[in-house]
A and B are shown apart, each in its own frame.
Chain A
Amino acid sequence: MTEKTGRYFVVSDRTYTDDSGIQVRLVYATRTARLLFVIPQVADALRAGRLDVMSPGMLATLREAQVVVPAEQDELAEVLERDRSAARDRSQVDFILLPTSYCNMGCTYCGQEHVRGGLTADHRDRVRARVLRAARLATTRRLRVDWFGSEPMMGYAIIRDLSKDFVRVAGEAGVEYSSQIVTNGYLLNERNLEVLIKECRVGRFYITLDGPPEIHDVHRPLKSGKGSFWKIVRTVRAALDHPDYQDVVFQFRTNVDVHNQDGVARFIELMAELGFTRPNVHFSLDRVRPWSNDVSAIELAAKDFARRELDWLRLMQELGLPFTRLPHTVQRVTCPAVKAASELISGTGKIFSCTDHPLVPRTEETAALGHIGQDDLPVFRPAGEFDGWYDEIAQGRSWCRDCVFLPTCGGSCPKAWHEGNPPCPSYKHNVQGRLDLAAERIGLRPVQAG
């Protein structure tokens, strides 16, 4: 079998060493999301496409990481076919439910329109019936229900009511059940956290904190005008000490724009001081991006953000806050909008494929694929705007066809591409710095040039 070096890997520019004297370079294999530590000669050979100088053991390792592939293999076609088949897969059914369209915050950069009121009783029963029908399908092995907003905790009673049946029926059907919630965190408290985790089986909380208290409370003000930072932080910090919650993940996200960028380092220091250095905590930083609203006055340029982000990530590493240096898993399904067995049901009962569509007035009006009140709704949602995403990549309608990160990124956000805003994740711009961090994490340091 003849082989070639594949197209989906990144080699570190730098060589790293330690007191034992070893010298290594890093190879990030994006088709398998694996990070390999190789001797410099192997890195050089990879860059030169020379397989003849590799040891049999190293060749086997590189083959397994899909850095070395059969000579005739069309890797782009393989990656896209793998993704298409994951997007078509119906063994895992995902629902994203918005129990309400209202939010108790009025964030400075938000493009949502918040209206009071949640699912009506009739709609709620129809949502319940629709999810349960999917759970009972012979093809369903896993059921995931994610609670999403506006602010889903405004509809806590609905979450509790529906989850009870979802968990029970999934159990009866032998279907694995999981759940996540995307919340601003303000309405969480000790009591409802326990219910969410133990009864509703929420296993991951996505919570946004935009800086230390004086910045977060201005960037993400409550509609009442009060601050929220300390209430959110105290509740989650207490939960981290709870012995039953050690497998529950708390993922903090920080949206960065021109207004809060100078507070990010202080935020990181504060979270470390407060003891958020736990393995079930995760931090991520994201650039504020247009969200069907004009954020051009506050948005940071992608490359500027990526440069500053490296300093923040280095600080997190020094202080022991967990974050992702480079993705550990490949992105088989880009996002919910490309997955056939995934749908979002809004607070007004409309069904969408894309999580942004119900939150923006124009698309809330025009992009619905159905309504929960319809008697003729198919078991899986009708096709949406992004179901042909992998064909669009193959046709070169974004940069993704030629991108080394396609297997871990999947094109990030088809909607953003359709709107002409490339949504590339920051690691596309700062991968070399992230490889430095991955090396430094295990005590390696760059070899000084010269």
Chain B
Amino acid sequence: MPGDPRDALRAAGLDRLPEAQRMVFEELSPEELRVVGVIQERLNAAMPEVAGQNNTYNTIC
């Protein structure tokens, strides 16, 4: 169906998630589902980042 929010979900690869997580998405409202699809696609496309460690050493050197 054109405009089906599940299309966005599929595009973002969320339809390949494990069963339990997919069920969570299936219980979202249509608008929530659309948002998740769009956001996930963008997050997937963003450059991965290493985690900066906060406060490993609170030092000035």
Contact = CB atoms under 8 A, between A and B. Distances in A.
Contact of A57 (B32, B42, B51, B60): B32
A220 to B, nearest CB: 9
- Which of B35, B49, B55 has the largest count of A CB atoms less than 10 A from its CB? B55
Interface stretch (A67-75, A227-235, A323-331, A366-374): A323-331
A39 B31 contact: yes
A329 B52 CA distance: 9
Given A37-B35, A57-B25, A60-B27, A322 B50 contact: yes
A103 B61 contact: yes
Interface in B6-23: none
A55 B34 contact: no
Nearest to A326: B54
Given A39-B31, A412-B55, A57 B61 contact: no
A22 B34 CA distance: 8
Contact of B60 (A55, A151, A208, A280): A208
A206 B35 contact: no
Given A39-B32, A57-B28, A328 B42 contact: no
Interface in A318-365: 320, 322-324, 327-329, 331, 334-336, 355-356, 359
Which 5 residue pairs spanning A and B have beta carbons closest together?
Answer: A57-B27, A57-B28, A442-B42, A56-B27, A324-B52
Interface of A: 18, 20, 22, 24, 37-39, 42, 55-58, 60-61, 96, 103, 107, 109-110, 112, 146, 148-151, 180, 182-184, 204, 206, 208, 249, 251, 255, 279-280, 282-284, 286, 288, 291, 320, 322-324, 327-329, 331, 334-336, 355-356, 359, 408-410, 412-413, 415-416, 423, 425, 441-443
B42 A184 contact: no
A149 B54 contact: no
Interface of B: 24-29, 31-36, 38-39, 42-43, 45-61
A356 B38 CA distance: 46
23 contacts: A22-B38, A24-B39, A56-B27, A57-B27, A61-B24, A107-B60, A149-B61, A151-B61, A182-B61, A206-B57, A208-B60, A249-B50, A279-B48, A280-B50, A286-B60, A320-B47, A323-B52, A328-B49, A329-B51, A408-B54, A415-B58, A416-B58, A442-B46
A112 B61 CA distance: 10
Contacts of A442: 39, 42-43, 45-46
Contact of B52 (A180, A183, A282, A355): A282
Contacts of B42: 442-443
A29 to B, nearest CB: 15
Contacts of A107: 60-61
